[in-house]
Amino acid sequence: MSLKAINLKYELEYGQNRIEVDSYGAKVLGLYLGGDHNILFYDENDISHSGIPLCFPGFGPLKEGKFQNAGKDYEMNQHGFVRNSVFDLIARGDNFLNFQLESNFYTKEKFPFNFLFQVSYTLSEKELIIDLWIKNQSRQVMPLAPGIHPYFAVKEPNGLSFTSLAKNANNNLLNYEVVEASTVLTPSEQSYHIKGAPDLHLIDHTLQETMIYRKGESNLKMTADPNIFNRMVIWRKSEDSKYVCIEPAYEQNGLNENPIAILPGKAFETRVVIALA
Task: Tell me the pLDDT band of 4, cut-offs 50, 70 and 90.
Answer: very low
What ranges do the domains of the chain cover? 2-276
Residue 2 has pLDDT above 60, yes or no: no
> Distances from the Cα of 106 to the Cαs of 54, 64, 81, 115, 137, in angstroms?
17, 20, 9, 13, 16
pTM of the entire structure? 0.94
> Distances from the Cα of 30 to the Cαs of 7, 11, 47, 258, in angstroms?
16, 9, 12, 33
- Could you give phi then psi for residue 182, rounded to 5 degrees? -70, -10
Say if residues 57 and 143 touch (Cβ distance below 8 Å). Answer: yes
**Residue pLDDT, tens place only, 35-47:** 778 999 999 888 8
Q: Quick one: fold of 2-276? A: Beta-galactosidase; Chain A, domain 5 (2.70.98)
Residues 6+ apart with CB under 8 A from 17: 32, 33, 34, 123, 124, 125, 126, 128
**Residue pLDDT, tens place only, 104-159:** 999 999 999 999 999 999 999 889 999 999 999 999 999 999 999 999 999 999 99
Closest CA to 64 of 80, 77, 46: 77
**Residue pLDDT, tens place only, 175-189:** 999 999 999 999 987
Q: Most distant CA pair in the chain: distance in Å? A: 53
Mean pLDDT calculated for residue range 185-209: 94
